[in-house]
Amino acid sequence: MPSASPLSRRPAWRALVAHREALGEVHLKTLFAEQPGRHRAFTRSAAGLTLDLAKQRWSPETRELLLALAREAGVPRAIGRLLDGERVNISEDRPALHTALRLPASASLVVEGEDLVPAVHHTLARMEAMVTKLHAGQWRGATGKPIRDVVNLGVGGSDLGPLMVTHALADFRAEGSQALEVHFASTMDGSQLADYLGRLNPETTLFVLSSKSFTTIDTLSNARTARDWLLARLAGERVGMPAALVMRQHFIGVSASPEKMHDWGIDDAHQLEFWEWVGGRYSLWGAIGLPIALVVGMDHFRELLAGAHAMDRHFREAELADNLPVLLALAGIWNVNFLDIRAHSILPYDGRLEYFAAYLEQLEMESNGKSVTHDGHQLDYATCPVLWGQLGPNAQHAFYQLLHQGTQAVVCDFIAPLRRYDEVADAATRAHLKEQHRLTLANCFAQSRVLMLGDEALADGDAQPSHKRYRGNQPSTTLLLERLTPATLGALIALYEHKVYVQAVIWDINPFDQWGVELGKRIAGETERILAGRRGQEAMDDSSRGLIEAFWAAEAE
Ligand code: F6P
């Protein structure tokens, strides 16, 4: 297998290597001193978002060279290929058409002879019918009582998107949703589900089984436990409802496999289907978003789609030099491949975005955590950095110490809404909350400044002992949302989706498959058979054998 990939032989790549050498260990404060008006020069806005890349450790020349790299790698053509439905997911030979899920009903997208838009909107209409019925208290459990609790059973893309968005948009609850609580259980160990089963009423609980493949053991294990819990309580001798009625009234299935849903026992009328051309981690825009629609209502759900679509249009139409996803992607390429920064922290300054980092961890690392090119060649450059995060204000009291004084270079994304709490009715509470929002933005802006300047952010700049020094020079991006609304959230998620795609195009990797998770699933299956059968461990390595025997010993106690 050849080791040198075409990317590192590209003229623009070589120019960037030389440019990196020429820049040397330039400090961010020097870059700012050399370029008045840097904020304006490196800031672009679209779809309710403002992206400030001025605190990246780069110069205007760096950006030009990166734009040349994007052109050489065919990014403009690749954007069209994605949005037009070409088979960009090469290893699975299919398109990746999450953007089709947010096309307006008036649009048309003909892919391989079929217009996809009518089917997308047919599914939205079916979701809407379910949402309306549940909000109106007309969806009744087997014993005739209205459903009050909905538990989403799913994992990965069938959990993280809906979980993140329902939290982010908690201020946008739909009127009829007040009587309904939406919960999420994802872990295969059953601990989250057990909590719900311990306190929810089976007569008024509905489960949404979300699984694109409908084979994921984590979700199917939870689903089996939930099914038996319901059947024992509602179809058992005491209550005596027919099992088929319990299954029909207490389960909705969301999957790309209607046959598997049917075989499992989901009533055909309560199945929401989606398509193989929607990747799991890109799927919140369709039927997998049902829990979102149950909380915020279909109008807000459609605004979320419209916001994402606005970003899709910007992605297709804007010049590369003004294109938010492209610029965000190029900053990432510069950090990873030329500054050798392999850690990336996501830091939202709004409690509503509590799950945003977890969502991006899957989006970025499952998409771009790859090390071979499309045609199977081993890469000779790095791809996706390790990405993690937490709410910024809380992380300040947890891991910011490392950002400020640790030995690692880390790039940070600061994310915050500019306006907040206008809708709070009580004037005194609104004033307090607005003050808290101002305090939060002060912290957000202060942190990126201190990370950039180090102790020089202090006006008095007194000499300090070394344990109190801040070297600064940590690059960061700041992303401002006009407000946190369904539309700006949609645009924000789409921005990161497209960033991931642009990076994948440049790195020549497939962001739409995830073969790296398969072996673990297979070996877990074998290990489970050994644990249950109490034999077969002899052939294993010494550590795994020891762990298995420890489990058996605990079981025997
Ligand atoms: O194992 C990884 C993965 O396939 C993710 O890509 C996906 O989002 C998750 O599992 C859940 O898959 P499914 O929706 O098919 O249950």
pLDDT value, residue 4 = 44
Which residues, 6 or more positions from 92, have their beta carbon under 8 angstroms from its beta carbon? 512, 513
Nearest-CA residue for atom 8 of ligand 1: 157
pLDDT digits (tens, 9 = 90+) for 287-296: 999 999 999 9
pLDDT value, residue 5 = 56
pLDDT value, residue 459 = 73
Computed over every residue of the chain, the mean pLDDT equals: 96
Residue 363 DSSP symbol? I
Asked if the model's pLDDT at residue 478 lies above 70, the reply is yes
CB of 280 within 6 A of ligand 1: the answer is: yes
pLDDT value, residue 125 = 98
Distance of CA 197 from the midpoint of ligand 1 (Å): 24
Q: Which residues pair with 115 in a beta bridge?
A: 110
Q: What angle do CA 183, 187, 192 make, to 5 degrees?
A: 45
CB of 161 within 6 A of ligand 1: the answer is: no
List, by residue number, the catalytic residues.
366, 397, 521
pLDDT digits (tens, 9 = 90+) for 369-411: 999 999 999 999 999 999 999 999 999 999 999 999 999 999 9
Q: Residue 228 corresponds to which tokens in the numbers above?
A: 């038996």
ipTM: 0.98
Number of H helices, E strands in the chain: 21, 13
CB of 156 within 6 A of ligand 1: the answer is: yes
Residue 231 DSSP symbol? I
Distance of CA 290 from the midpoint of ligand 1 (Å): 17
Nearest-CA residue for atom 9 of ligand 1: 156
Nearest-CA residue for atom 5 of ligand 1: 156
Distance of CA 333 from the midpoint of ligand 1 (Å): 27
Cβ atoms within 10 Å of 471's Cβ, excluding its own: 13
pLDDT digits (tens, 9 = 90+) for 397-455: 999 999 999 999 999 999 999 999 999 999 999 999 999 999 999 999 999 999 999 98
CB of 281 within 6 A of ligand 1: the answer is: yes
Work out which ligand 1 atom sits closest to the CA atom of 160.
Answer: 8
Strand 110-111 with 149-153, pairing: unpaired
Backbone CA torsion sign across 412, 164, 511, 78: negative
pLDDT digits (tens, 9 = 90+) for 34-72: 999 999 999 999 999 999 999 999 999 999 999 999 999
